[in-house]
Amino acid sequence: NAGVTQTPKFQVLKTGQSMTLQCAQDMNHNSMYWYRQDPGMGLRLIYYSASEGTTDKGEVPNGYNVSRLNKREFSLRLESAAPSQTSVYFCASSEEGGFAQDTQYFGPGTRLTVL
Amino acid sequence: AQKVTQAQTEISVVEKEDVTLDCVYETRDTTYYLFWYKQPPSGELVFLIRRNSFDEQNEISGRYSWNFQKSTSSFNFTITASQVVDSAVYFCALDSSGSARQLTFGSGTQLTVLP
């Protein structure tokens, strides 16, 4: 039981390049999330998927797209990377969909640098 | 709107001292959940505790204890007899039952325990 896994762990991009961050969970959770963590700002929600087939914007969705490929996988795509997207990206999952009592479990994070 | 404030940016203590991390939250919802997460130097986010708005009973788990007070909108976390391994960034987070389902994080408190 690996929990939530993310690939890659580190990535350096040039401005304008695109890339996809991958996330998978093996806990049979319904909901999945993408956050970014910037220094001094805690974590901010980019997108979330309450259940397979649905996605919704979070606090900071601009410049990102997501795909809930199946129940296990939730990917985050940067179409044209910008230096402002330099951050640590965390994927998370929780058991139920749309309920506040769920505990979110996090992956190890992806450290992305955009030059 | 939801907001979580962790006024202590950094705390430094000597091993075996007790330390309390403060968390103050704002929400208009009557049903909400509060969380504490730990982020050690390795970078992953580790879930510590979840509390719902209807349960103000304080909890002790080993060296950890939590003090939830609705009257002051606070959810403080105390480590008794701190150890070097407790050194980490600690995040308080809030999740409400509102339509915009998301976990709102505070900016975190960096705890350093010196030997």
Out of A48, A100, A103, name the one closest to residue B47 (CB).
A103
Reduce the secondary structure of A22-85 to three states and give it as a string.
EEEECCCCCEEEEEEECCCCCEEEEEEECCCCCCEECCCCCCEEEEECCCCEEEEEECCCCHHH
* A15 or B31, which is more confident: A15
Residue A85 CB partners (closer than 8 Å, separation 6+):
A36, A63, A78, A112, A114
Which residues of chain B are under the pLDDT cut of 50?
A: 99-100
Tally the residues of chain B. 115
Q: Are A14 and A24 in contact (CB under 8 A)?
A: no
For residue B71, give the 3-state DSSP assignment: helix
Q: What is the pLDDT of residue B99?
A: 47
Decide if pLDDT at A98 tops 60.
no
Chain B CA closest to residue A40: B107
Q: What is the pLDDT of residue B97?
A: 58
Out of B33, B43, B108, name the one closest to residue A101 (CB).
B33
B-interface mutation test, from A55, A60, A106, most B Cβ less than 10 A away? A106
How far apart CA B32 and CA B51 sit, in angstroms, is: 9
- CB contacts of B108 in chain A (<8 Å) are 42
Across the range A25-31, mean pLDDT stands at: 91
Q: Is A38 left (phi over 0), alpha (psi -120 to 50) or beta?
A: beta
How far apart CA A11 and CA A111 sit, in angstroms, is: 6
Please report where in the chains the tokens 């990535």 appear, as a residue: A11
Residues 44-63 of chain A with CB under 8 A from chain B are 44-45, 48, 50, 56, 58-59
User: Is the peptide bond prior to A8 cis by the omega test (within 30 degrees of 0)?
Assistant: yes
Q: Are B112 and B87 in contact (CB under 8 A)?
A: yes
Q: What is the pLDDT of residue B4?
A: 94
Q: Taking CB atoms and an 8 Å limit, are A103 and B52 in contact across chains?
A: no
For residue A108, give the 3-state DSSP assignment: coil
Decide if pLDDT at A38 tops 80.
yes
- Within its chain, how far is the Cα of A61 from the centroid? 11
Give me the torsion for CA of A71, B44, A98, B98, rounded to 10°.
Answer: -160
| Eight-state DSSP code of residue B29 | -
Across the range A53-79, mean pLDDT stands at: 94
Question: How is residue A8 written in tokens?
Answer: 């890659």
Q: What is the pLDDT of residue A52?
A: 87
HSE, CB side, 13 Å, CA atoms: give it for residue A77: 7
Q: Are B68 and B75 in contact (CB under 8 A)?
A: yes
Interface of B to A at Cβ within 8 Å reads 4, 9, 31-33, 35, 37, 43-45, 47, 50, 52, 91, 93, 95-97, 101-103, 105-108
